[in-house]
Structure 1
Amino acid sequence: MPDRILPPEVTEHIRALLTDAGVTANQDLVARILATGVGLGLDGTDRLDLKITSAALTEMRAAFRLFAPYRDVPKVTIFGSARTRPDDALYRAAVDVAAALAARGWFVVTGAGPGIMQAAAEGAGPERSLGVSIRLPFEEKPNALVAEAGRVVAMKYFFTRKLMLVKESRGFVCVPGGFGTLDEMFELLTLQQTGKADPTPIVLLDAPGGTFWAAFRRYVDDHLIPAGVISPDDLDRALVTDSVTAAADEITGFWRNYDSLRWVGKRLVLRLRAEPTDAELESLNERFAHLVTKGRIERTGPLKPEVADDDRIDLPRIIMHYDQSRVGELFHLIRAINEFGSAPPASPPDPHA
């Protein structure tokens, strides 16, 4: 069925409604949301489908409101099993890594449940914890730490919950768990591999001497890579470790010199905290020529679209014609950039700035 185009007078009524309601910022996008709702009605959409749409938008609005006051604070999401008990070494590992990152100025985001989620909230403390819980008939309510602080939002659908657990964070720690934890971990890796999400650090953290993630790596090496279903370096983007210090360093170190990226047409712009020297730029061109489709990696000032959007224009940057079919390899380039000489202490950029 082709899309039904709304009559111009309906579009004008929507814009007038928004103006009367006091909506001025991003009125075009809000109008598009309302127009889509009208379109659903005109399509004769099934009532259950409309309920799903309505609930998803309601949940997303509640989550956006929860995160909005903390947009300028770097966040790390910690995934793990709801069944892990407080006397388990994994529980202590989650407490400790959350505490270490909170001490470095990060907020910790969890699924707001028991087990590893409770441990991470304990480590970060209520003042640095945010929770996105799921309503299930057989699970406990959101843990008291985030609930009492009022920093939790409850979701009906897993897909809206997973969006908010990933969207706002600039680092991820996965502690061993069951189907849910593995689902979240695989989605993170898939988003990075396909370039559907900007590069971010991922840590697979085990208890001291633990073998859970080491066994997963062996499975990847013995089965997935030989089968040709993933690239040989796809898991290299994630750090497998049983060290809390190494985990925290991986999360924060990813942002040591690299700041952010932007595509302008077919050109990739990487914004940095410190400008590369001539020798460092030459090293990048030698090591990553296979990722460049035309020309060389060069320094540049802010491009016109960046200036128009006031998008990190104070930072030095490099530019290249990057092979977009190899976007999953960007993490190699970013790690090389972070090896450059002195760079100021870093925290990831506000994605909404």
Structure 2
Amino acid sequence: MTHDEPATHDEPARPTQGGRRDDRRQTGPVTLRRGKVPPTTTDQRLLEGQQPSDWLHADPWRVMRIQSEFVEGFGTLAELGPAAAVFGSARMRPDDPAYAMGVEVGRLLAEAGYAVITGGGPGAMEAANRGAFEARGTSVGLGIELPFETGLNEYVDLGINFRYFFARKVMFLKYSHGFIVLPGGFGTLDELFEAVTLAQTQKVTEFPVVLMGVDYWSGLIDWLRDTVHANGMIDHTDIDRLVLTDDPHEAVRIIRTYEEPRA
């Protein structure tokens, strides 16, 4: 991590923004730059339906690579302690009010004794990591190999880079005691609904999901209630799992309320 100046006892060193990274890709522990960056990602190659079967013979260690991601994740996070995951858009700008909300959420979680886990990218993820970093908490980033990879943000002090989305998702769910969801797009919705589905099917229990941003999320809640529930596709208790608020203190209080019986 690069700092503008050395850390002091009173204030953590503030990281600087990195240079251009659009010619770099992180594939697990390996960094590739310029001409070494492949045209596709590991996940993409795994999920392609129409492809030669040569990889069965030429790459017999693929299953071991998948296994290694679980081993690396479990080994790194097993002693992390209480943690909460914060999700949100990578496209969120620092001047967006939701970015400030994310910084405050990260700070309050850290002050409450939680590690803050994000996807490690820019935008809302950076905001939550920044809040935890500035509060001297544990700031965790679980990165993923993407064609537009930007690397882990500079506020992450414990980072893991994954090739496979499914291995990364297991780490979020296994080591988080709840999700706080800032405004976001498809990736955020994916994590949100996966968490709700696993709670609905009792794969995870007592798992709070807090949506930050009343104006942003109200339309989704209305649709779930007035269309999905009205047509009998979900139960009203499924909607009740989602808590909507604009107050970072309320969000952290909800995480702590679920955590106290477990403790």
Q: Structure 1, unaligned stretches of length 5 or more? A: 1-44, 260-347, 349-353
In structure 2, the partner of 1:15 is: none
Larger Rg: 1
| Displacement after TM superposition at 1:127 (Å) | 4.2
Relative to structure 1, the CA distance from residue 48 to residue 238 in structure 2 (aligned partners, 3 Å threshold; closer, same or farther) is farther
* 2:85 equivalent to 1:81: no
**Does the 8 A contact of 2:114 with 2:137 survive in 1?**
no
Relative to structure 1, the CA distance from residue 142 to residue 223 in structure 2 (aligned partners, 3 Å threshold; closer, same or farther) is same
In structure 2, the partner of 1:67 is: 77
In structure 2, the partner of 1:121 is: 129
Normalising by structure 1, we get a TM-score of 0.56
| Displacement after TM superposition at 1:204 (Å) | 0.7
* 2:240 equivalent to 1:236: yes
Q: How does 1:1-353 map to 2 (within 5 A)?
A: 46-47=56-57, 50-70=60-80, 73-125=81-133, 127-146=137-156, 149=157, 151-206=158-213, 210-256=214-260, 258-259=261-262, 348=263
Higher relative contact order (CA 8 A, sep 6+): 2
**Does the 8 A contact of 1:192 with 1:198 survive in 2?**
yes
Relative to structure 1, the CA distance from residue 231 to residue 153 in structure 2 (aligned partners, 3 Å threshold; closer, same or farther) is same
CA deviations on 1:300-334 (whole Å, 9 max, x unpaired) are xxxxxxxxxxxxxxxxxxxxxxxxxxxxxxxxxxx
**Does the 8 A contact of 1:95 with 1:122 survive in 2?**
yes
CA distance in 1, matches of 2:59, 2:204: 27
SS in 2 for 1:130: strand
SS in 2 for 1:255: helix
Q: Identical aligned pairs, as a percentage?
A: 39
| Displacement after TM superposition at 1:49 (Å) | 8.2
| Displacement after TM superposition at 1:50 (Å) | 4.4
| Displacement after TM superposition at 1:68 (Å) | 2.7
CA distance in 1, matches of 2:57, 2:223: 44
CA distance in 1, matches of 2:83, 2:143: 17
- Provide the alpha-carbon RMSD of the alignment: 1.7
In structure 2, the partner of 1:3 is: none
CA distance in 1, matches of 2:58, 2:203: 29
| Displacement after TM superposition at 1:91 (Å) | 0.7
**Does the 8 A contact of 2:210 with 2:244 survive in 1?**
yes
Q: Structure 2, unaligned stretches of length 5 or more? A: 1-54
Relative to structure 1, the CA distance from residue 165 to residue 230 in structure 2 (aligned partners, 3 Å threshold; closer, same or farther) is same
| Displacement after TM superposition at 1:255 (Å) | 2.6
| Displacement after TM superposition at 1:212 (Å) | 1.5
**Does the 8 A contact of 1:66 with 1:152 survive in 2?**
no
Relative to structure 1, the CA distance from residue 136 to residue 64 in structure 2 (aligned partners, 3 Å threshold; closer, same or farther) is same
CA distance in 2, matches of 1:202, 1:254: 10
SS in 2 for 1:227: coil
In structure 1, the partner of 2:22 is: none
